[in-house]
Each structure stands twice: as C-alpha cells, then as structure tokens.
Chain A
Amino acid sequence: MNVQARKPRRSGVIGRRTLFKSALLVGSGALLARPWIAPRRARAASAYQSEQLVVGISTDPVILDTRQSQNTTGVSQIDHILEPLALLNPDNGKLVGVLAESWEPTSSGWRLHLRHGVKFHNGQELAAEDVKYTLDSIVDPANVKWVQPTIRGKMQRLVSVQVQDRYTCTLDTGGFSRAFLSTLTQLGIVPASAAAQGASFAQHPIGTGPYRYVEFVSGSHLTVEANPDYWQKGLPKTRRLTFRILPENQTRLAALESGEVSYIDNVPPDAIARIKGRADLDVMTETTSRFMHIQLLNDHKPFDNRNVRLAVNYAIDKYGIWRGIMGGLGEITTAPWPSSMLGFNNQLKPFPYDPSRAKRLLDEAGVSSVHIKYGGPDGRYLNDKQVSEAVITQLQAVGITADVDIREFGAFFQNVFAHKYDAFLLGYSYAGLDPDNAREFWSSKSSLADYKNPDVDRLFAQGDATSNLTEAADIYRRLAAIVWNDVPYAWMYYQPNISGVSRRLRGWAPRKDELIYFTGAWLA
C-alpha cells in the first residue's frame, strides 16, 4: 500500500478520493480549531474574594421561574437569581425577612412591608406592584398552561393582593392563615414587567438576587454572574458562579476528585470514605426534615387494620437500613417532624425491630401470609432503590410477599396517584418547615395513603387559625401524637444531606432544609 499511481484527471471533475480527503481536512480543521483546554481568563483586581466557582449538582432546575418549575430541588439555583419575600431559618423554623422587611397579621391575612432600595437586575426598584403581579399571575386562570399546579394549589387561598402604597401590600386569604407566610418562602418575586412575557420570562429571568442570569443549557450547566447592585452589601463573594448539572453519581464524584467542581451534592454514603481519603476534599453532612417512610393504603385490605400496619413497623429493620445503607447518617424518626419545628412532640418513641412480634400481630389479625403490590422510586432519594429492596426482603421474612415495581420517580408517582400500590416508599419534606405543610399528607381530603381522621383535620384547621405560637405548638403536639400512633405509615428515618466539598471552599455550610446557597461562598 505504498505506491500510488497518478491518475490522469478529467478536467472539471473532482475525483472521489480528493473529495474525501478535503472533507477530512476540513472536518479535522474545524475540530482542532476548538481549544484543547478552556482558555485562562486574565486576572483583574476585583471586589470579589474569588473570580470563579464551579459546583456540581445532581438535578436540573429545568425552568428558571418558581411559578413554573416542577422541580422542587431546583429552587436553590433559582433563588440565586430570584428572591422570595422571606426565608426560614432552618435551625429554629423562624421566618427571616428577605424582600419583605416586616409583616403583621390582619383579620383575613397578612400585611407585608417591603424593603426599600432593592433593585431588580434591570435597574428597576422593587415595589408592591411586583409582588402583586407575581402572586396574581399564579392564580390567574389565563396562565393555567404554564403555572405549576402545586404552587397554584398553595395559592388557592389567596383572594386578592391589595397595594396600599409603594412598599406595602395586603394579602387577603379569606380568613386568617398562620402558615400562609411560610408558603411564600418558596416563591421568587418577579418584576411586574414580566407580564408581557408570560412563560418565556424563564428564558431570561430578571430578579433581585445576588446573581444575574448569564446562560442556562438544560442538562448541562447554569451560569450566573454577580449582581453589583445587590441590596446586601458585601455579597456575593464570587464573581462568576456555574452550576454543572451532573445527574450520574460516579460522574459527579469524579468531577469533584479531578477538581473540575468545588462542591457536589447528594454524595452516596458508600462514597464518603473515598472523598475523605483525599487531603484536599471533605464531606459535610446535615440531617434534613425529609422523612422517609413506607406509605400503607389505609382504606383496603390488608392495611386497613391498624395492627397489620403496626406489624409492618415492627418488621422493618430501620436501624439496619439506617446504619447499613445510610451509613449511619441522618436520624431515625422519633416523631412525625423534627425537633427544629413548631410543636415537636418528644414523648413519642420509634418502634423497635421485632419480626417475631410482627408475625404474631399478623397471625392475630388473620393475615399470616399475604401478597401485596409494592412500588418504589429509583434515583429520587438517597439510595432509594436499595432501601426498597431491603424493605421487601424484610417484609417477606414475616410473610408479606410483594409484586415489586421500582421505577423512575415520575412514572412511579403517577402510579401512586392512581392508587396502584398497596405500599410504597416516599419521602416527604416540610418545605416551609411548618407543621401545616403536613396538611396535604394527613388531611382526609388529600392523603395519598387514604388516611382519614376527623380529629386530625380539626386540629390542622385550629393550628392554622391562631397567631399565638404557644397555642399552636400545643395543638400540633397533640396532632403529632395522634398521627404517630395511628401508624398510617411505617416510620423510618430522616434523610441526611451529604455534600462533598473542596477544602478551599469557604463561606458555605449545609442546611437542614436541603437548600443550597452559594451567596456567601468563595474559593480560597
């Protein structure tokens, strides 16, 4: 293959081989014209502690607008651009004002006083009109195509928003609702001028947050740049922040280890040793308010019998699962919600692992061997598939066999809604860190497990109607005891929030509410 005879060329005709060769040349030229490595930026003197921070996250925010986003875990990223009226202090459940400086209850709702001098990224100053537009757009029936149904449902109580003056507005919820404010913590305020754009506002969101939108490629990355006019002086500390979207665990871990990112979320417990073994990396954990549990359908056999549900609580080795699969991180649930929240009941006890007691209860109930339909998600919660598999094995040991269906969360959740399972794994979190958030879980109208207890309904209504926190705490303590002992679920553990960080990362700490903020973070 070394000799190539020259072929006499017919004029005007380009030989096939030449064509092929030139195509190859052009192609490789185009490819090589790209930089082999990313070019270095010239360092300039700046007011920021560091120029660039790249972090790896496991879920895609998808839409950069809290009114439209179906992804509750993407809220953290959106919050860097859009800010809510108030945020919760995850350690004590108290509201901290962000865009709203102060507030007071009215007879049928709340009055908000906005902070002065806050500017949107387009230079406009924040005013009550913007809050009015944001809230109105959610309940506006013309927007039903793009407003997320859950958020719409939360705002259903809202009757009207009245603007008193430039910085004051009143929210009318048709009757006083103590917990309504906590739902506002999940809503990013958008400028009233966004009305013209409707849904496409999300393609270039304008907010009041510490960072301005630069670029978002769904499935790849979100890049934001510091807002020089941010109302909190001294923040943010990093000029440019990039969220790299890396859903694959191994890929995300590898990115941290290779130094491409300085932070990753959702570190699987089994990978902790690997990260800690590195001198330049560390692992930080925090217990969240997300409680993992097995929901049991309360309205038909076999779980309509409380003793059968109790038996399941004894049959599941939550300690083994917690130690083995969760690496001993997080905590076993001892009450329906954690101690940082209002009305925590410290008198309740978790059920011990006692399979023989479980079998006895089942025999007494007349169901010594039974076959159920079990469902579980895959990839939504930490090691959720493993947890499901462990639970199934443990149930089998006491005579409860199952048809298993483990699948991607969206499809799984559809089946949950359609009542296709007798038992399923789920993890609820208290998004507003308020017991009233649990109304959706346990009220007779909306419980996915078909749990119906009129006492519980009554207590929920009472707890929300009072503005006296001591009174509310007492009501919720009673509620907690009832729900716990009714065992509508098999209670298990609070999910830990495990993050991998570079030791150079400063100004960041994990939060109990699963939110991840880099506003005060920089690279040393």
Chain B
Amino acid sequence: MTRRTLSQHAMSRSPVLSARKPEGTGPRAAAILTRLVSSRGVTWGGCTIMLIALMALLAPWVAPRDPYASTLLARLSPPAWGGGSAGYLLGSDELGRDVLSRVIFGTRISLLVGLFSVIGAGIVGLTLGVVAGFYGGVADRIIMLFTDTMMAFPLVLLALAIVALLGPSLRNLVIVFIITSWVLYARMSRGATLELREREFVAASRALGASDLRLLVRHVVPNVLGPLLIVASFGIAQIITTEAALGFLGLGVPPPVPSWGNMLADGREYVDTAWWISVFPGLALMITAAAFNFFGNGVRDLTDPRLRNVV
C-alpha cells in the first residue's frame, strides 16, 4: 500500500476508525434523539429547500412588484409595520425598489448559481475521481497531481482573479465555482471508487464478462453518488454564501439584477438608517444556506456513519 498524505487519508477513509461499525453507543434514548434530530434536519431542510425552489420558479407570480421598477420618490421607506406603506411590505431600497420582490427574485440567482456550479463540479469531479480510482497507475498519478495543484491554489484569490478579469456575470460565476470546487468531488469519488473496487461484486461482474464502462456506470457510480450528494448539499450552501461575498466585493452578478449578494452590498451603506435593505436578504441567505447545511448534515448522520470523519 503506498504512503498517502494526511489529506488523502481524510478524504477517503478514516484510519482512526476500526473496521467494524460502533455498537451500543450510549443510552438508547440519546440514540433515538439523535436520529430524530438528524431526520428532522432532513425533513426541515428538505422542505425549506423545496419551498425556496418553488419561490424561485413562481417568482413572477409570487412577488408583489417588479424587482427592477424604481421609484425615486419612494426610496428608503421602512417596512409596512414600521411606518412604511403596504405597497412595500418589507420596505424599499435606495432606488425605491421593493425589497420583498427583490428577495423573492433573489432565490433564482442563488439557486441557479448554486445548482449549476455543483452539478458542473460534480460531473467533472466524479468523472476524474472515478477514473483515477478505478484505473489507478499513471492516470491516477496525473489526476492526483492535478488535484494537488488545485488544492494548493488559494481558491478565493483564484475566484477573485477570474471574476475580476472575465467580468462579472452569471455564467462566469458558475465557471469560477466549478473550477474551485470540483477537487472535493474528485477526491471523494476516488476514495469511494478505491474502496468499491475491492468488493466481490466487481470481481464477479468482471468474471461474467462485463466491460469496464458497464461496471462503472452500473455499479460504481450509483454507490458513489450517495456521499457526493451530501458534499453537494454543503457545497451549495457554501457557494451561495461565497456568491454573496463576491457581490460584496463588487464581483458578483452585475447590478441591477436582484441577487442577495448585491442587495447586501447595497445595504451595507444603510445598515443603521435603513436596516431592512440588508437584514432581509441576509436572513434569506442564512435560511437557505442553513437549509442545505441541515439537509446534508441530516442525510450524513442517517446514512453512512463512516462518513462522519470525512471533511
């Protein structure tokens, strides 16, 4: 067995854990409670995610006003219950646009960026990781060198540089996120593939004459997808927050598009005078990110205990 780096260990299997699953871990009540919380994480997280997705789809019908319509006379008006008018339920921003409508439309940007980035990164990572894990040898060495180079890269700087140089747009944002996050999926897929490779059913299928591709597609990939989903869930949460951060630095989706990042960036000028401009998109951001985090957390706790040590 070749000597691997610490990170490689952590990425594939934890050597600390003994080979068999833990049994009789603590009082039964605690175990039941934990399971409940985890599954609650899955249910609550999952429901919130679906709600957000629905809002994104039905935004034009759900939102009370046009998110781009600006009425300069009505700028900076507070939420309806705090002295403002019912026309702007959550208040209006510095250009007189409705905060509620912009928050609702913001779900589209966040979900679009998050989903496409994760899917893209997942596809790239999965392909490279499975190939590396399954075939080993030179291909593995090369791909690992590649991933190591990417991991040594200060990814945030890379993201900043690419967006700054290519120009801020939805497409470029997705590209940047794919480039900076595929490594994790590759490592995970490789680890899982390595483990699966040794299993009996692979040898059996081989003996039956199955081709490599068939093996990969029908047996390896479906088993790798599970853990990937969990990582993807956390990944979306991180991407959504990073998009907001890039927006704060002026490198997100260009204004006047209603993305939460843009709203937070605009709102930072008015944190004390017009708090509603940044509080509501900030809340929406937190809830969405938390939903994905809780969902991923819950699924992880429920399914494979071995994955608890995988970062």
Using CB atoms and an 8 Å cutoff, list the residues of chain A in contact with chain B.
249-250, 268, 270-271, 273-274, 317, 320-321, 323-325, 378-379, 385-386, 388-390, 392-393, 396, 404-408, 411
Contact = CB atoms under 8 A, between A and B. Distances in A.
A268 B72 contact: no
26 contacts: A249-B268, A250-B269, A268-B269, A270-B94, A270-B270, A270-B273, A271-B269, A274-B272, A320-B72, A321-B72, A324-B73, A325-B94, A379-B250, A385-B255, A386-B95, A393-B70, A393-B256, A404-B254, A404-B256, A405-B167, A406-B255, A407-B250, A407-B254, A408-B164, A411-B164, A411-B167
Interface of B: 68-70, 72-73, 75-76, 94-96, 164, 167-168, 250-251, 254-256, 266, 268-274
B250 A390 contact: no
Contacts of B167: 405, 407, 411
A408 B271 CA distance: 22
Nearest to B74: A324
A321 B71 CA distance: 11
Contacts of B251: 407
A257 to B, nearest CB: 10
Given A390-B95, A407-B168, A411-B164, A317 B256 contact: no
A322 to B, nearest CB: 10
Given A386-B94, A389-B70, A389-B255, 7 more contacts: A249-B269, A250-B268, A250-B269, A320-B72, A388-B255, A393-B69, A407-B251
Contact residues of A: prevailing secondary structure: helix
B250 A378 contact: yes
Contacts of B266: 385
Nearest to B271: A250
A414 to B, nearest CB: 11
Contacts of B68: 393, 396
Contacts of A323: 72
* 7 closest Cβ pairs, A-B complex: A324-B72, A320-B72, A389-B256, A393-B70, A378-B250, A406-B255, A406-B254
A270 B72 CA distance: 13
Contacts of B96: 324
Contact of B250 (A273, A392, A408): A408
A325 B72 contact: yes
Contacts of A392: 256
A250 to B, nearest CB: 6
Contact of B76 (A270, A274, A317, A385): A270
A385 B94 CA distance: 11
Contacts of A321: 72
Contacts of A379: 250
B254 A405 contact: yes
A271 B73 contact: no
Contact of A317 (B72, B94, B95, B164): B72
B77 to A, nearest CB: 12
Nearest to B165: A411
Q: Which of B256, B271, B272, B273 has the most CB of A within 10 A?
A: B256
B264 to A, nearest CB: 13
Nearest to A320: B72
A406 B266 CA distance: 13
Contacts of B274: 270
A323 B268 CA distance: 21
B255 A324 contact: no
A331 B250 CA distance: 29
A250 B251 CA distance: 19
A355 to B, nearest CB: 14
A270 B269 CA distance: 9
A324 B75 contact: yes
B272 to A, nearest CB: 7
Contacts of A405: 167, 254
Contacts of B269: 249-250, 268, 270-271
A324 B95 CA distance: 8
Contacts of B76: 270
B34 to A, nearest CB: 23
A271 B273 CA distance: 8
B257 to A, nearest CB: 8
Contacts of A378: 250
Contacts of A268: 269
A377 to B, nearest CB: 10
A389 B102 CA distance: 15
Given A268-B269, A274-B272, A407-B168, A390 B254 contact: no
A323 B72 CA distance: 9
Contacts of A271: 269, 273
Q: Which of A268, A271, A273, A385 has the most CB of B within 10 A?
A: A385
A349 B237 CA distance: 54
B251 to A, nearest CB: 8
Nearest to B249: A408
A323 B274 CA distance: 18
A383 to B, nearest CB: 8
Nearest to B70: A393
A339 B164 CA distance: 40
Nearest to A322: B72
Nearest to B69: A393
Nearest to B257: A404
Contacts of A393: 68-70, 95, 256
